[in-house]
Chain A
Amino acid sequence: MTQATESIKYTPLYDFHKQLGAKMVEFAGYSMPVQYPLGIKQEHLHTREKAGLFDVSHMGQILLKGESAAAELEKLVPVDIVDLPKMKQRYALFTNSRGGVLDDLMVTNIEDGLFLVVNSACKQKDVEHLKRHIQHKCDIEMLKDRSLLALQGPAAAGIMAKLAPESSQMVFMTAANLVLDGVECLVTRSGYTGEDGFEISLPSSHAEHLARLLLEEEDVEMIGLGARDTLRLEAGLCLYGHDLNENITPVEAGLTWALSKERRKDGKRPGGYLGFDKIFEQLEKGIQMKRVGLQPEGKIPVRENSIIVDDDDQIIGKVSSGGFGPSVGGPVSMGYVPIESAKEGTKLWALVRDRAIPMQVVPLPFMKTHYYRG
């Protein structure tokens, strides 16, 4: 077998990040800003207090077209897509035949069809998955000339309203076509920080112009992937490849809320997606293990892959995401534990270097979310 050496990819904002003094790292094949001179902690806190601007152009933007696109996509996700109203957005998951998660994504019903935002590391795999299963019934197009910016935080709405007053009509998980300083953008009111905010899909040719314009706002700072990770962790949101993978089902991941009632066993269009039988069985009979929030005692961050043991010193699970939460002001983790140890308040231990760190099972999220629901 020959090993393909893939060359590193760049987003249209690469030079812009470099000019701003960002520290660039390779992430999912892209050279991405992990932090700017402000640093992860301050970038994180700034996003929670004012507004952060993120370049997330590495993520995959896919357009599904054709009359039956919604019905076809329903064969691959446990989510109601057929009845998804125009300009509404829904969180979805591509499942495999065992009910495991191939990727998590956002689906928006736009004029042209269905607009999907998928994880960067999964986007080629996702397009192949779509092609293999539903190409004969709909057009699948990876939108290669589009960038994605996220403006997140309590000041985001005010800033967006200055550029497009109609954005103030938008609520969480809705979309609008907005002209921002002459640039036609597809904007959704959603994000990955737990804060109110927007994701802005726009032609790559205009990405730097809009980023510069937004950054001129006093309340806006550029935010790197480092703070994006700590923000989503405090918000209790899953990161694919860490908290989600092909061997974890949505039920085990605590994402049962994302399984639309229309697609459940007693719903209007039950099952019919890959692995639905496994997921129905789990919904009916329960699960063995589950994702939980874990609050370590003290100050030592309990990071991904730390072993979790119970009071009897038995190894029972692993931390799937963990680190320091700047808004929490201490360590925060999530991990998978057996259902009998998943109850809130359960005392567990994590092994970090040569010591056992006491932890408690706590509800997610760690920080109150501020989604704008009108």
Chain B
Amino acid sequence: MSQIKYSEEHEWVEVGDDGIASIGITDFAQAQLGDLVYIELPEEGQEIQKGESVSVIESVKAASELYAPVSGTIVEVNGALDEKPELVNQDAMGNWFIKVKLSDADELDDLMDEADYKDSIE
């Protein structure tokens, strides 16, 4: 059964049965950013380190970044966001940015569960 974990930088991580982690930004993050107009996605196959900037998210207001909440190899990027970044505004939890094969599953333990994340943004 998959469980969704959250980072302090307002990313969510959902690890599927195949051990692949889908990563996106939270609804709180999309609301803070406002209307998204451009998302710069990384390359498939790219190795990423936890904490590193992996995507630039441009809203009408400003540019911000998606920081890798876990380390690993990017196995898939969500190309739909290239054409329609507003999908993230419409459903942040339903639109992942990247899928990552984890290099260190223990990193998941550093992330928050839903209850803790909700507390953190209140």
Contact = CB atoms under 8 A, between A and B. Distances in A.
A40 B35 CA distance: 7
Given A226-B61, A300-B58, A303-B63, A324 B34 contact: no
B113 interface: no
Contact of A41 (B40, B56, B58, B60): B60
Interface string B92-121: 000000000000000000000000000000
Q: What size tier do the contact residues of chain A reach?
A: 10 to 19
A39 B34 contact: yes
Q: What size tier do the contact residues of chain B reach?
A: 10 to 19
Contacts of B40: 300
A326 interface: yes
A203 interface: no
B34 A226 contact: yes
Nearest to B32: A23
Contacts of A42: 35
B35 A299 contact: no
A230 interface: yes
Q: When A and B form their complex, which 7 residue pairs have the shortest distance between CB atoms, in order from nearest?
A: A41-B35, A324-B37, A40-B60, A299-B38, A324-B60, A39-B35, A301-B58
A285 interface: no
A34 to B, nearest CB: 8
Contacts of A323: 60-61
A299 B34 contact: no
A226 B63 contact: no
A41 B61 CA distance: 10
A299 B81 CA distance: 12
A226 to B, nearest CB: 6
Contact of B34 (A35, A300, A303): A35
Majority secondary structure of chain A interface residues (helix, strand, loop or mixed) = mixed
Interface in B5-51: 34-35, 37-38, 40
A230 B38 contact: no
Given A300-B40, A324-B37, A230 B60 contact: yes
Contacts of A40: 34-35, 60-61
A230 B37 CA distance: 13
Contacts of B89: 39
Interface in B57-93: 58, 60-63, 89
Interface string A265-309: 000000000000000000000000000000000011101000000
Interface in A44-95: 44
Interface string A310-332: 00000000000001101000000
B60 A326 contact: yes
